[in-house]
Amino acid sequence: MPTAPVLLVASSGGHLAQLWALRPWWREHRRIWVTFPTPDALHLLAGEDVRHAHHPTTRNLANLVRNTLLAVRTLARTRPAAVVTTGAGVALPFFVLAWLLRIPTVYVEVYDRIDTPTLTTRLCRPFTRLHLTQWEEQRAFLPTAITVGPLL
C-alpha cells in the first residue's frame, strides 16, 4: 500500500514561497499542493500534483464555501498523513476538516509577522497540532511553538 501523501496548503506568493522553502523535507514525501492558480504558482508547481483553490478568500463567503467543498473532496480522496500550511485564508477549511478527521496539522507562522499573529494563525490555532515559528520572538504569541528559523 502506498504511503499517504502530505497535503501542502498555501496562498500563492510569499506563503507559497515559504512552503516551497521546506523542499529538503517535503521532496522525500509523496505530496499534494493546494494553492491558487496564479502565474507564480503555476510556474513554481509545474509538474507537481496540485488542487486549485478559489480566491480571493478575504470576506468572500462564496469562495469559503467552494474551498470547504474542495477540502472535503481532497481530504476524503487522499486521506493525507498531515496537512502543512504557511497560510493564508485557504488553510482554514483544510485545518478544520483535518482536525475533525484526526489528521495531524502543522502551521508554520510566516516570516514577516514577528510581533502579532496573522488572522489565519488565530483562526487555525484551535485546529493546529504543531505550530512552527521562524523567529524566536514569535513565541511571545505562540508559546508552545517550535522555532525552526527563517525559511527564506
**48-73 pLDDT tens trace:** 999 999 998 888 999 999 999 999 99
Cβ-in-10-Å burial (0-12, 13-18, 19+) of 84 comes to buried
- pLDDT one-digit tens code per residue, 81-101: 999 999 998 999 999 999 999
Beta-sheet pairing, 6-10 with 82-87: parallel
Q: Specify whether the CB–CB gap between 142 and 121 falls below 8 A.
A: yes
Q: Architecture of 6-147 per CATH?
A: 3-Layer(aba) Sandwich (3.40)
Q: pTM surpassing 0.85?
A: yes
At how many degrees (to 10) do helices 61-78 and 91-100 cross? Answer: 40
Domain residue ranges in the chain: 6-147
